[in-house]
A and B are shown apart, each in its own frame.
Chain A
Amino acid sequence: MSMKGWFYAQMEGIVQALEQLGTDDFIFWYEATTPIATAPGLPTIDLTKKYGEDRVRYSGLDEMWYAGATLGAALVGSIAIDWHDMYMANPYPFEIVSQHAAKLHHMTGGQATIPAVWVIHISGQGPGLAGQHSDYEADSWYAHVPGVRTVIPSTVYDAKGLMITAVKSKDPFVYLNGSAFRALSDDIPDTPYEVPIGKAAVRTRGSDLTIVSSGQGMLAAMEGAQKLQGDGISVETIDLRCLNPMDTETLVKSAKKTGRVLTVDQSKYTLCPGAEVIARIAEFTDGVKFKRIAFPDAPPPGAPEMFNYMKPNGTHVYEAAKALLRK
């Protein structure tokens, strides 16, 4: 165990996954983030030094190019990673992932194999940058796409574990990387470990109410849960971690126990991950009461007054939970 930052955990995950696979046939594209990670008292991880400039490349600006180039590298059998940190350009890899990477294995009758990870950054935390740069919606887009696994860590532990899972998998992954987490660090194992796909994490156990969230929504969810616990309410907080496949079992069992489910999303209300959570629980339970809060169906405005009003926070979670408990 040692203290590692979010990015260090991810870089360590990549290196360890490749070591476990016993390969350095690896292609990595980056744009704004040079893949050099440091942590106090630990060796620096420098992907370019380790794998060479032929394999670890600055991409230039065109996100559609390196999203597609990642697919090409994976199709010829390299482990390929697209470090897509330009969240204002998130629709660009979507075309490659949804229309090609997600469909090729199936369309080629099982021939095409795509051991690639599109690490897609999402922002959405701060005001001031307006619609294009402050948006948080890629979770809803990718969760909808069959043929690709969509994961979204919210802890440093999962950031590493999900990276290892994604890199080692023979299937294409979308790894959603929340910009709010970049400042996190935590004491996590030095040895490799995987976080299984399709398995949610229960962050607090409780019996009065279930709160379900994912990614940066977890920040508001945990803040709200703490406030509720302060009022003596027993809250079960679930972090989805994996949007597709979604852990229906954990969701349904928790809902059956508490009878009340609140979903929290930074994504837009319509078709946010919480919508799918509620649908699955409703489909397989009787009598559960629901509430969903999310970012309104609007682009994020630039002015802090407007943005901060609309972004779901701990107080919103607390109030929605209280209203749900009164139902």
Chain B
Amino acid sequence: MSDTIEKTVEEVKAEGKGFISRRNFLKGLGVTGASVALFTTGTRLLATPEQEPVSKIPLERDIYWPERLTREQLIEMQRKMLQIRWYDRTVADKMLTEKGFRGYMHGSPGHEACAVGACFALNKDDWMAGYHRSHHHAIAKGANIRKMAAEIIFKASGTNNGYGGSMHIMQADVGMLGEDGVVGPGCCYGAGAGHALRARGKGQVALTFGGDAHATTPYFHISLNEAATHKIPWVYVIENNQYLDARGQHISECINVDDIAIMATAYNIPGVVVDGMDVLDVYNAVKAAVERARAGRGPTLIECKTYRYYDHFGVRGAEPGKLGSFGLGYRSDRELLSWLARDPIDKHRKTLVQTGMLTEREADALEEEVKAEIRDAFRWAEAQPVPRAEDGLRHVFVEEESVLPRMLADCPPWKTYA
């Protein structure tokens, strides 16, 4: 992976072009200064981004949260991002090369820092709701990767026992409310979960991830309004990758503002833009928002500027062994290259190496370790049994073993419930 990125950086430099800006897309980054990394000595090892709040209400920044992470935690962030990267790269390569492969993906590569930075700010017993592009959320929140691999190929021992697949991965015991294939409602049930958690009084919070298109739905606005009005302990993280689906519609054609985070102003809560390609930047903001929520001060809207390397869905424009989808009609390869050059995994690796937390060799070894882990996960998944046909009639209810097979000529006319 590093090879690709370095070449890409060179290519981009050679072209003498910086990042391609589309309708001031990167203006937010310039304003926040989020991409400025200041390396110093001693304990202040890491970047101190000067994030400006986008909305009128500031998000408290008197603490720089990444500073308080241990070396182990900082390395763990890298491990999680690598797991996400290689999980989806493996899915992509299998889609490209294995005939009859049953899995598919809305690929996460590019979005790793958003999920990992945000989930690192949560406790295990805090709850998180994902969206249709959600492999990264599941891994970041700690879902079992083998079972995830089994799920996306519909195996009986998958996280969802083969009932859901890629768009519906759920593992309740790590605090996942599940992914959702319908764009929008996750913010309502995420905030609703936050409301219930507050009533329970154990200091838990809830977090919803959404794509940029969330901002075009009614759910986005009603959940922010209600959560703000009632100070619900909830954090809303928007991963703005600029595009909607495979039509290639640009988000700027669908909303009337440059930064989604500014919509927080209307609800009188903090709204901030962060660099979604920087795991520490994401972590810093989400951690501050989580602390604010736990302290009873209500929700925060956080917009991560990011990019998806693959196509909206599947592997159009991708090649086996190569990261990303090229030649898609709706975006330029140069735009993709400019984002690849800011790869979140590369960036964090550099941070770890330059601050002496990992040697280059250790960083390579970490990546190899993760690759092996993912290979093993898919190998395990492939050996798992498929569900039994009749099991489709199960799990409709908790309190009913199965429903009647109404497509069969000899289906019994009724069953007794009493």
Complex CA distance for A293 and B407, rounded to whole angstroms: 5
The interface-forming segment of A59-67, A103-111, A112-120, A194-202 is A59-67
Q: Whose C-beta in chain B lies nearest to the C-beta of A272?
A: B406
Given contacts A298-B393, A302-B162, A309-B392, contact A323 B167 (CB under 8 A): no
The interface-forming segment of A123-131, A183-191, A276-284 is A123-131
Q: Whose C-beta in chain B lies nearest to the C-beta of A321?
A: B409
Q: Whose C-beta in chain B lies nearest to the C-beta of A313?
A: B407
Are A303 and B392 in contact, CB atoms less than 8 angstroms apart?
yes
> Digit string of A287-327 for contact with B (CB within 8 Å is 1, else 0)?
00001111111110111111111111100100110110000
Given contacts A61-B244, A303-B392, contact A323 B154 (CB under 8 A): no
Given contacts A305-B386, A306-B392, contact A296 B181 (CB under 8 A): no
Given contacts A60-B254, A129-B181, A303-B162, contact A296 B405 (CB under 8 A): yes
Q: Does B30 contact A (CB under 8 A)?
A: no
8 Å CB contact of B387 from A58, A61, A64, A306: A306
Are A302 and B407 in contact, CB atoms less than 8 angstroms apart?
no
Q: Does A269 contact B (CB under 8 A)?
A: yes
Range class of the A interface residue count: 35 or more
Which A residues lie within 8 Å of B184 (CB)? 62
A-B contact count (CB 8 A): 140
> Of residues 120 to 160 in A, which have CB atoms within 8 Å of B's CB atoms?
127-133
Are A295 and B406 in contact, CB atoms less than 8 angstroms apart?
yes
Least distance between A100 CB and chain B CB atoms (Å): 15
The interface-forming segment of B118-126, B210-218, B269-277, B292-300 is B210-218
Are B389 and A296 in contact, CB atoms less than 8 angstroms apart?
no
Are A310 and B396 in contact, CB atoms less than 8 angstroms apart?
no
Range class of the B interface residue count: 35 or more
Which B residues lie within 8 Å of A64 (CB)? 217-218
Q: Does B173 contact A (CB under 8 A)?
A: no
> Digit string of B157-177 for contact with A (CB within 8 Å is 1, else 0)?
000101111011000000000
Q: Whose C-beta in chain B lies nearest to the C-beta of A58?
A: B249
Are A306 and B216 in contact, CB atoms less than 8 angstroms apart?
no
Are B164 and A130 in contact, CB atoms less than 8 angstroms apart?
yes
Which A residues lie within 8 Å of B181 (CB)? 88, 129-130, 132-133
Least distance between A114 CB and chain B CB atoms (Å): 22
Q: Which 9 A-B pairs have the closest CB atoms?
A: A306-B392, A309-B389, A303-B154, A269-B406, A303-B162, A302-B165, A320-B409, A319-B409, A323-B409
A-B contact pairs, 23 of them (CB 8 A): A61-B244, A61-B254, A62-B184, A64-B217, A64-B218, A128-B165, A129-B167, A130-B165, A130-B168, A131-B164, A269-B406, A293-B408, A293-B409, A294-B407, A296-B406, A297-B396, A301-B387, A302-B164, A303-B154, A304-B154, A306-B163, A311-B407, A316-B407
Q: Which residues of A contact B (CB under 8 A)?
A: 32, 34, 58, 60-62, 64-65, 88-89, 127-133, 269, 291-299, 301-313, 316, 319-320, 322-323
- Given A301-B162, A303-B392, 12 other A-B contacts at CB below 8 A? A58-B249, A62-B217, A62-B218, A65-B216, A131-B168, A294-B406, A297-B403, A303-B386, A305-B162, A313-B407, A316-B408, A319-B408
